[in-house]
Amino acid sequence: MDTRPSGTGPEDDGLRMRAADRDRDDVAEILRDAAAEGRITLEELDERLDRVYRARTYADLRPITADLPVPGPAGPPAPAAPPGPAAAPLVLRTAAGTIARRGVWHVPQRVEAVNPYGTIRLDFREAVLSSQVTEVHVSGAWGETRIILPDGATAEMDVDTSWFGSADSRVPAVPAPPAPHFRITGGVKGGSLRVRYRMRLEDWLGGSAHPADPHHPGPGTPWPGHPGPGHTWPGRP
């Protein structure tokens, strides 16, 4: 029998969990970025940092950045550096907001997306990949993570789903060269992770849908190893 008080649920239980040092450091970095951008004063930064390092639970941390907007470019994105083996990882970081990448974007060998309590949406279907194998590290505790891969791509997952988290992939895990391969790591404790070739509208927006039979991709969907028209393989313009 559920003995929780009325009006509480798994999310409330998660917010009462103890925060780790890494969680406090993530929030502190967001605050320092906000001060550098002029969103908060140095006095506010000192006051909030004091609250961060005195916080014991996720519920203590969440309000500290509640009034800060999701970081993003103020104008057109800067040209991406040419892909190459020495390219630095792409790090996307916020908290309780939205991280989204879709359309044509340059992807280095490693992508890191950190967004506790928020939504992470990474669409690689039109992305320009710099490597045959792309590493995707997600940190989406108590949030939702959605990853869409090019048709025919493969993905292996090693993700922490503790505290009622879930991870569901509907793509093959075994590499099938020359199709791109993805290694997905990280953690979604208390949250959810979905990996698909393409998503229905309700999947993309965070709802639920009945998945199609994975053995029958459906009309117009290429089989693994045979991507659809317009896809860019690593090393080809």
Which one has a higher pLDDT value, 111 or 6? 111
Torsion of CA 138, 140, 143, 149, to 10 degrees: 0
Whole-number pLDDT of residue 63:
87
Task: Find, among 24, 114, 26, 30, the residue nearest to 71 by Cα.
Answer: 30
Whether 234 has a pLDDT exceeding 80, the answer reads no
Name the more confident of 13 and 186.
186
Query: What residue spans define the domains of the chain?
Result: 10-65, 90-204
pLDDT single digits (tens) 70-127: 454 333 444 555 554 557 999 999 988 999 999 999 999 999 999 999 999 999 999 9
CA-based nearest residue to 199, from 183, 211, 185? 211
Beginning with the edge strand found earlier in the chain, give each strand of the sheet holding 133-139 in spatial order: 90-93, 110-114, 133-139, 181-187, 154-160
From the list 113, 112, 108, 111, the residue with the least C-alpha distance to 87 is: 108
**Chain segment 172-229, per-residue pLDDT in tens:** 999 998 999 999 999 999 999 999 997 555 444 544 433 444 443 443 444 444 455 4
* pLDDT computed for residue 52 by the predictor: 83
pLDDT at 138 exceeding the cut of 80:
yes
Average pLDDT, whole number, for the chain? 77
Residue 4 pLDDT exceeds 90: no
The residue among 147 and 203 whose pLDDT is bigger is 147
**pLDDT score recorded for residue 13:** 53
